[in-house]
């Protein structure tokens, strides 16, 4: 007797894969939205959208999620009709498709939380049904004639042929490359999976088709793969990526002519046994468990180091053990890097969701705005050397900032950081549309384009810190009006204005709207960034717009940190937050005006306010002469904290302080340096508030 089928066994896998396909669907819908605005079709987006929804429908049927099946099927039917008019989706279909996608996302979330799924909304199903062609309507349009063998051509859909036409019209070349698997190529790491990945970096892959061939020395497996490509690069680059001779890269002629083609779902796919699995999905909980075990190893190594030092102090010969400890340290660093890489997610997964947020706000506010996203990256499909659009094919990239303060890249960050920073990005984007951007008629009077631009960019400042910026071309922040509402003096600098803007409960609007006006947004952003040990910056100009910059660590669990002592108490601080450690010469310090216990340190032509850390933390003064100062920079201004002595630099495991009774400003967590006692992890940036009013004028 067999055990009953338990859908819970498959739920985790379903949720992971459904999330991936829903994210892809949102990207393609936004790409279509931009294409409509430019008066263009986008056959590739239609085809990719169909495939994602087809997969979601099949997965949902497996777990019995019938409301999701109904919605995905209705969307599929509309897209199948678009395929018969090759790849052309009617513009009025976009809004019902977006509503249906949101409804699917809501039901996937409910499934993840163990809730009962609501039925598919009848209004959405009716709207999608009205988009389907009636009998005698929606006939096939003339296709493109493509110079490919009949057995290949028969397996290209109308949308894929339209994709070739659009690519050639845009200045790309259509090519065919044949890859034949052999034992020699497999031994060299050349499989169809690796070839697809390599070729995708230099060309746009339209189709990959498996074809049978007579067995021979050249094709021992009796199988070949035909790659149909669009590229602006050279034949040599394609041949090198595919690991084939240049002579096997052949041109494909594309011209307009009627040509029958199968609809979606009738094409042959690469057989599963022909493609090696190169990725697996892992639950985040398993990665968290691996990181937890690594954290225990790091603490154990601290304890071993202390025990080894104690043995050395008693005269024992510890040289051999010290060498083993050093090697163990290197191995732990490598293990940490491997686990952290597994936890990393592309920043693009965050940024590509923002256009949908903006689209929803503009529809309710009546304003016009578009999002331009710069995620960096190299040239390739959909890319330029200057920047890369990662919000879909319809969103233009902005110029790369490589060579300024860092290098522009398509970066990754720890999933725990990504999950916490996304709400901050959403707040900034919503505020930009609701507060900063003027209505279209006002922008026209000011000589601005009616459609505003919100630019979101990503820049890696170091191997420990990521910089995200959100800028707009709106009206800028009215400092005078904001100060009057807060009952304070008008701020003289952008840094002071940001402090005013992040006061809890303060809003620049007189009344609440459906998107903002409750006085919570910027305060939430500031708290999120502070909790991550990051930094929030503002640059604004009346009439020209504002730029908010978020600098956040790539990871917040195991970090490189400096340890130091104030009196008898050790502390640690993340390396990423420290600009410099300097020697303090008491004879060259001067006391700041105002009577506060703040001294001024001259450092390379700038004045740095310096405060003993124990006075900020209300601790007893140490007996050792102070000789070190930790320099941090907040809102572009330097601040210094004087400490008794530095203890070293090491990797530490940061444990958050979740009990509200022990939450103290400036303390972000605790760690164990091997003595079994908790050592506080400080956020010196937030402690600069003690110096905020003491800067020299």
pLDDT at 6 over 70: no
The pLDDT tens digits for 451-491 are 899 999 888 766 667 888 999 999 988 888 888 887 888 88
The pLDDT tens digits for 42-89 are 777 888 888 888 888 877 776 778 888 889 888 888 887 765 555 467
Residue 276 lies in a domain: no
pLDDT at 144 over 60: no
Question: Quick one: which H or E segment has residue 34?
Answer: helix 8-37
pTM of the model: 0.61
State the greatest distance between any 2 C-alpha atoms of the chain, in Å, as a whole number. Answer: 96
Non-local (6+) Cβ contacts of 329 within 8 A are: 301
Q: Shortest CA distance to 547 belongs to which of 647, 617, 476, 625?
A: 476
Residue 416 lies in a domain: yes
Q: What count of Cα atoms within 13 Å lies in the side-chain half-sphere of residue 310?
A: 8
Least confident stretch, 309-323, 589-603, 611-625: 589-603
Which of the two residues, 379 and 210, has the higher pLDDT score? 210
Q: In angstroms, rounded to a whole number, what is the distance separating the alpha carbons of residues 128 and 95?
A: 10
What integer is the mean pLDDT of 664-674? 77
- Report the sign of the C-alpha dihedral through residues 162, 166, 169, 175, in that order: negative
pLDDT given at position 471: 92
pLDDT given at position 546: 92
Residues 518 and 388 in one domain: yes
What integer is the mean pLDDT of 169-196? 85
DSSP state of 666: T
Domain count, the chain: 5
Contact 462, 576 (CB under 8 A): yes
Residue 275 lies in a domain: no
* DSSP-derived pairing of the beta strands 452-460 and 369-374: parallel
Residues 384 and 456 in one domain: yes
| Mean pLDDT for the chain overall | 76
Which strands make up the sheet holding 599-603, listed edge to edge?
580-583, 628-634, 637-643, 606-612, 599-603, 590-591
Q: In angstroms, rounded to a whole number, what is the distance separating the alpha carbons of residues 567 and 585?
A: 19
Domain range for 234 is 144-257
pLDDT at 389 over 70: no
pLDDT given at position 390: 33
pLDDT given at position 472: 92
Contact 94, 52 (CB under 8 A): no
pLDDT above 70 covers what percent of the chain? Answer: 78
Residues 562 and 639 in one domain: yes
Residue 389 lies in a domain: yes
pLDDT at 259 over 50: no
Q: In angstroms, rounded to a whole number, what is the distance separating the alpha carbons of residues 72 and 65?
A: 11
Among residues 97, 130, 163, which one ends one of the domains? 130
Which of the two residues, 458 and 661, has the higher pLDDT score? 458
pLDDT above 90 covers what percent of the chain? Answer: 3
CATH number of the domain that residue 674 is part of = 2.40.50.180
What integer is the mean pLDDT of 562-591? 84
Residues 356 and 481 in one domain: yes
Residues 183 and 201 in one domain: yes
DSSP string, 291-306: HHHHHHHHHHHHHHHH
Residue 1 lies in a domain: no
pLDDT given at position 405: 36
CATH number of the domain that residue 353 is part of = 3.30.565.10
Residues 647 and 677 in one domain: yes
Residues 474 and 431 in one domain: yes
Least confident stretch, 247-251, 442-446, 592-596: 592-596
Q: Measured at the alpha carbon of residue 570, what is the angle toward residues 564 and 571, in degrees to the nearest 5?
A: 70
pLDDT given at position 515: 52
Among residues 345, 369, 387, which one ends one of the domains? 345
Residues 196 and 297 in one domain: no
pLDDT given at position 642: 87
Contact 100, 128 (CB under 8 A): yes
Residues forming a β-bridge with 648? 563
Q: In angstroms, rounded to a whole number, what is the distance separating the alpha carbons of residues 244 and 265?
A: 31
Q: Measured at the alpha carbon of residue 498, what is the angle toward residues 415 and 540, in degrees to the nearest 5?
A: 100
pLDDT given at position 519: 43
Residue 526 lies in a domain: yes
Ramachandran sector of residue 213 (left: φ over 0; alpha: ψ -120 to 50; beta: rest): beta
Residues 218 and 328 in one domain: no
Residues 56 and 94 in one domain: yes
Phi then psi for residue 68, to 5 deg, are -70, -40
C-alpha distance from residue 26 to each of 240, 344, 458 (Å):
34, 22, 21
Residues 352 and 310 in one domain: no
pLDDT given at position 136: 41
Q: Shortest CA distance to 44 belongs to which of 138, 165, 141?
A: 165
Residue 650 lies in a domain: yes
User: Which class for 483: exposed (0-12), middle (13-18), buried (19 or more C-beta within 10 A)?
Assistant: middle
pLDDT at 191 over 80: yes
Q: Shortest CA distance to 88 belongs to which of 136, 148, 131?
A: 131
3-state secondary structure 143-211: CEEECCCHHHHCCCCHHHHHHHHHHHHCCCEEEEEEECCCHHHHHCCCCHHHHHHHHHCCCEEEEEEEE
CATH number of the domain that residue 205 is part of = 3.30.70
Q: In angstroms, rounded to a whole number, what is the distance separating the alpha carbons of residues 593 and 686?
A: 23
Non-local (6+) Cβ contacts of 449 within 8 A are: 443
Torsion of CA 86, 87, 91, 95, to 10 degrees: 140
What integer is the mean pLDDT of 283-309? 81
Q: In angstroms, rounded to a whole number, what is the distance separating the alpha carbons of residues 465 and 575?
A: 10
CATH number of the domain that residue 57 is part of = 1.20.120.160
C-alpha gyration radius of the chain: 30
pLDDT given at position 695: 47
Residues 651 and 603 in one domain: yes
Contact 210, 222 (CB under 8 A): no
Q: In angstroms, rounded to a whole number, what is the distance separating the alpha carbons of residues 466 and 412?
A: 9
Among residues 319, 345, 371, which one ends one of the domains? 345
- b/e 553-584 (16+ beta carbons within 10 angstroms → b): bbbbbbbebbbbbbbebbbbbbbbbbeeebeb
Q: In angstroms, rounded to a whole number, what is the distance separating the alpha carbons of residues 372 and 382?
A: 14
pLDDT bracket for residue 328 (50, 70, 90)? confident
pLDDT at 345 over 70: yes
Non-local (6+) Cβ contacts of 331 within 8 A are: none
Q: In angstroms, rounded to a whole number, what is the distance separating the alpha carbons of residues 99 and 356?
A: 11
Residue 383 lies in a domain: yes
Q: In angstroms, rounded to a whole number, what is the distance separating the alpha carbons of residues 571 and 647?
A: 9
């Amino acid at each position: 007797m067999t055990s009953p089928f338990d859908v819970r066994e498959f739920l985790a896998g379903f949720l992971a894969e459904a999330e991936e396909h829903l994210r892809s669907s949102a990207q393609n819908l936004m790409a279509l939205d931009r294409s409509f605005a430019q008066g263009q079709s986008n056959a590739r987006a239609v085809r990719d959208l169909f495939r994602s929804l087809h997969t979601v429908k099949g997965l949902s049927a497996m777990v019995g999620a019938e409301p999701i099946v109904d919605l995905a099927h209705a969307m599929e039917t509309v897209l199948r009709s678009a395929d018969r008019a090759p790849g052309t989706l009617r513009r009025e279909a976009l809004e019902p498709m977006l509503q249906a996608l949101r409804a699917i996302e809501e039901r996937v979330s409910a499934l993840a939380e163990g809730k009962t799924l609501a039925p598919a909304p009848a209004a959405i199903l009716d709207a999608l049904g009205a988009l389907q062609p009636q009998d005698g309507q929606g006939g096939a349009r003339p296709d493109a004639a493509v110079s490919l063998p009949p057995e290949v051509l028969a397996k290209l859909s109308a949308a894929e042929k339209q994709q070739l036409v659009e690519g050639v019209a845009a200045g790309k070349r259509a090519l065919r490359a044949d890859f034949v698997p052999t034992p020699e190529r497999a031994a060299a790491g050349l499989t169809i999976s690796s070839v697809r990945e390599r070729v995708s970096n230099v060309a746009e892959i339209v189709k990959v088709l498996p074809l049978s061939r007579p067995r021979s020395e050249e094709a021992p497996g009796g199988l070949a793969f035909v790659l149909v490509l669009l590229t602006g690069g050279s034949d040599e680059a394609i041949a090198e990526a595919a690991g084939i001779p240049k002579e096997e890269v052949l041109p494909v002629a594309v011209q307009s002519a009627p040509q029958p083609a199968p609809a979606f779902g009738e094409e042959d796919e690469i057989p599963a046994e022909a493609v090696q699995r190169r990725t697996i999905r892992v639950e985040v909980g398993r990665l968290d468990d691996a990181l937890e075990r690594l954290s225990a190893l790091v603490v154990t190594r601290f304890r071993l180091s202390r025990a080894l030092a104690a043995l050395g102090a008693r005269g024992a010969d510890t040289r051999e053990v010290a060498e083993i400890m050093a090697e163990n340290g290197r191995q732990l660093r490598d293990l940490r890097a491997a686990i952290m890489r597994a936890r990393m997610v592309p920043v693009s997964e965050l940024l590509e969701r923002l256009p949908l947020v903006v689209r929803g706000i503009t529809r309710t506010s009546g304003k016009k705005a578009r999002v331009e996203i710069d995620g960096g990256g190299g040239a390739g499909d959909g890319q330029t050397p200057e920047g890369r659009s990662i919000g879909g094919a319809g969103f233009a990239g902005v110029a790369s900032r490589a060579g300024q303060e860092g290098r522009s890249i398509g970066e990754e960050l720890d999933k725990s950081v990504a999950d916490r920073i996304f709400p901050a990005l959403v707040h900034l984007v919503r505020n930009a549309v609701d507060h900063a951007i003027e209505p279209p008629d006002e922008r026209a009077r000011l000589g601005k384009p009616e459609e505003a631009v919100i630019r979101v960019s990503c820049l890696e400042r170091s191997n420990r810190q990521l910089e995200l910026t959100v800028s707009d071309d709106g009206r800028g922040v009215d400092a005078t009006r904001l100060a009057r509402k807060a009952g304070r003096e008008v701020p003289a600098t952008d840094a002071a204005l940001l402090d005013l803007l992040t006061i809890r409960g303060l809003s620049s609007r007189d009344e609440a709207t459906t998107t903002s006006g409750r006085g919570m947004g910027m305060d939430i952003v500031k708290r999120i960034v502070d909790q991550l040990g990051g930094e929030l910056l503002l640059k604004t100009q009346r009439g020209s717009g504002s730029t908010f910059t978020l600098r956040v660590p790539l990871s917040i669990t195991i970090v490189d940190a400096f340890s130091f002592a104030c009196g008898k108490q050790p502390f640690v601080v993340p390396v990423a937050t420290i600009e410099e450690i300097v020697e303090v010469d008491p004879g060259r310090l001067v006391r700041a005006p105002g009577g506060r216990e703040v001294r001024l340190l001259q450092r390379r032509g700038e004045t740095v306010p310096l405060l003993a850390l124990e006075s900020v933390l209300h601790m007893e003064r140490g007996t050792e002469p102070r000789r070190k100062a930790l320099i941090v920079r907040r809102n572009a201004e330097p601040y210094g904290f004087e400490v008794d002595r530095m203890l070293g630099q090491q990797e530490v495991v940061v444990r958050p302080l979740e009990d509200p009774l022990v939450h103290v400003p400036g303390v972000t967590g605790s760690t164990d340096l091997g003595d079994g006692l908790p050592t506080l992890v400080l956020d010196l940036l937030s402690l600069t508030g003690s110096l905020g009013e003491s800067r020299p004028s």
